[in-house]
Structure 1
Amino acid sequence: MHRSLPPLRALRAFEAAARHLSFAQAAAELGVTPGAVSHQIKALEDRVGAPLFHRLTRALRLTEAGEAALPLLTEGFDRLADGAARLQLRDDENLLTVSVSPGFGSLWLVPRLDRFRRQHPKIEVRIDGTDRLVDVANGEADVAIRYGPGGYTNVQSQRLFAMRATPVCSPGLLARGLPLQSPADLAHHTLLHVEWKEAEGSWRTWLLAAGATDVDPFKGPRFTKEEMAVRAALEGEGIALIGDRMAADHLASGRLVCPFSADLSTPLVFAYFLLSPLNWQDDPKITCFSNWVLAEAKLVGDLGSERH
């Protein structure tokens, strides 16, 4: 079947730039110059006949067309990467494939992964960054980490940690002088939204719990990926409402701060779970990773487990 597609290089440049909201970071990821990324995106915009970014003075924002295309393209490149990996995959007993959402991977797992490699240097880790469902029971990945309500079937399910929705922003934003002493002061600030959290952990839910009924809970840009909202917060573009565990490293380093007291964070019903085959203890590499990630999670949250 013939598929009429724009050049793959242009699609890759757009997807990377849209995910990072930065031509420079996209260029670093792709191994090219920011000018090359800009050229490819301009060519793509000319081909589709519509702008894909709002180019602001110090930031990028996706247009409606760009927002609609990004999750589909990200999933498409994830699937291409999976397919290519399957062509090359060795029957290697030391290769461990870990499926995680891109947000959890970049914000929590990857910053800690070097500790696992130092403890288990013979295990080769492959991180499959995707939000799509994977069949751990049938070996599509060795283990998966997913955010949800629990109750997973046909797998070993162990809770890593629950979270609390916490407003975070850059210290530079506080230094600008706009008041931010109470939740009511959010009326003077930009709210950064994560679209997939509208059902839980939304600004509307948090503002109601905080009693800030005069603040518009829908104002501000929306992001399809949590890590994009965190990046915007780091750049001082507004205040993001993020699970506290996902912001833990940035908070510890001082790159992000909580403008309000911990009492104003709200518990989230969903949690992160480690999913592995029911016979996971028969595979040494899965056992090593499971024990390690559960120990890491214990440092930042309460532990629980369930088996179905």
Structure 2
Amino acid sequence: MRLPPLNALRAFEAAARHSSVHKAAQELHVTPAAISHQVKGLEEYLGVMLFKRMPRRITLTPAGEACLPKLTAAFDQLAEAVAAAQQLAHAGRVIVTVPPALATKWLIPKLAHFRDRHADVDLRISARQSLVDRSRGEHDQAGNLLDGGDVAIRFGDGDYPGYVTHKLFTSYSLPMCSPRLLEGPNALRTPDDLRNHTLLHYESDIAMMDVGRPNWVSWLKAAGVRGVNTRRGPTFNHVTLAMQAAADGLGVVLGIPIMASEEIAEGSLVAPFALSLPTGASYYLVHAASAEREPSIKAFCDWILSEAHSEPWAQPLPSADDGG
């Protein structure tokens, strides 16, 4: 038996299930006229009326009632078949969405370790500035939370209801500079010595992202230092730029150590004082509960949590003798 056109069957099934041509049109992203045309063509093909048409509603005829359950079940089976094929096609694929700065300065340098252990995983890194919470409540929509990924690393407050959340790092600010500034007649030995050095600043292009983040005024106050002009020195629009300037010897930055772990390890940046202040947000690994059933996703999550827990700059330094 030759089957009628699939589009006509789909239009009838949707209209019958909703008892509405307009709702069927919305579901299938076509016009109501297109749904009516498809259904009429199906009725002509079958030689039987499927709907009783009334001024403001439609109801099924006996023929339509007989057809609908099996047709709905058939479309459900088609959807399951497509989903199964897609699942096999994407087996082993893990899409990780992550803020650009963390991807560049921390995640990517470590990916060789993951590849050596899990060469069968098709890892895809997608850097997204949208993974930075700009205000509370911004991440209420599920579509924004993972931003297209299987796993997301978000910079925010960790309040992500309905998702599995693991804290990776405590984000904090700490003075950082080139080791060259620790030498010479104006050597940086105590916080009070900062009055003899250029202070580097950074301000985000998006003002909301700076809310709650410490600056030189708050850090010097916490260190008990007075009389330092905190307005002097250049300003950058991103912390990584300011930290690069510090590594080049241009001054001292109130930087974020997790973003400079490689520079600190190789010695191009040092942290002369242990006094740190929280930035008001931290980095979190986020995913749906169902993701834990996927071996590739679980392998990535286990690996990154292990890397984060062994990161020496994941927590602030003890600061009992901050005053130097």
- With normalisation by structure 2, the TM-score equals 0.59
AA partner of residue 171 (structure 1): P
Who is 1:265 aligned against?
Answer: 276
The DSSP-based 3-state class of the residue aligned with 2:124 is strand
Q: Segments of 4+ in structure 1 off by > 3 A?
A: 133-139, 173-177
Who is 1:249 aligned against?
Answer: 262
CA distance in 1: counterparts of 2:147 and 2:281, whole angstroms: 25
Residues 286, 111 of structure 1: CA spacing in aligned structure 2 closer, same or farther, 3 A cutoff?
same
Match of 1:132 among 130, 133, 153: 130
AA partner of residue 246 (structure 2): A
The DSSP-based 3-state class of the residue aligned with 2:160 is coil
Who is 1:79 aligned against?
Answer: none
Q: Provide the identity percentage.
A: 36
Who is 1:118 aligned against?
Answer: 116
AA partner of residue 125 (structure 1): L
The DSSP-based 3-state class of the residue aligned with 2:114 is helix
Larger CA Rg, structure 1 vs 2? 2
Residues 139, 214 of structure 1: CA spacing in aligned structure 2 closer, same or farther, 3 A cutoff?
closer
CA distance in 2: counterparts of 1:223 and 1:130, whole angstroms: 20
Match of 2:97 among 92, 96, 99: 99
What pairs up with 1:43-58 in 2 under 5 angstroms? none
State the structure with bigger RCO (CA 8 A, min sep 6), 1 or 2: 1
Q: Quote the offset at 1:119 in angstroms.
A: 0.8
What pairs up with 1:197-216 in 2 under 5 angstroms? 197=210, 199-216=212-229
Contact residue 162 and residue 269 of structure 1 kept, 8 A: no
The DSSP-based 3-state class of the residue aligned with 2:174 is strand
The DSSP-based 3-state class of the residue aligned with 1:132 is helix
Match of 1:221 among 234, 243, 249: 234
- With normalisation by structure 1, the TM-score equals 0.62
Residues 268, 124 of structure 1: CA spacing in aligned structure 2 closer, same or farther, 3 A cutoff?
same
Residues 150, 208 of structure 1: CA spacing in aligned structure 2 closer, same or farther, 3 A cutoff?
same
The DSSP-based 3-state class of the residue aligned with 2:158 is coil
Gaps of 5+ in 2: 1-87, 132-138, 205-209, 316-324
CA distance in 2: counterparts of 1:291 and 1:104, whole angstroms: 18
Residues 179, 120 of structure 1: CA spacing in aligned structure 2 closer, same or farther, 3 A cutoff?
same
Q: CA RMSD in A?
A: 2.4
Q: Quote the offset at 1:136 in angstroms.
A: 6.7
Counting matched residue pairs gives: 211
Who is 2:178 aligned against?
Answer: 170
The DSSP-based 3-state class of the residue aligned with 1:270 is strand
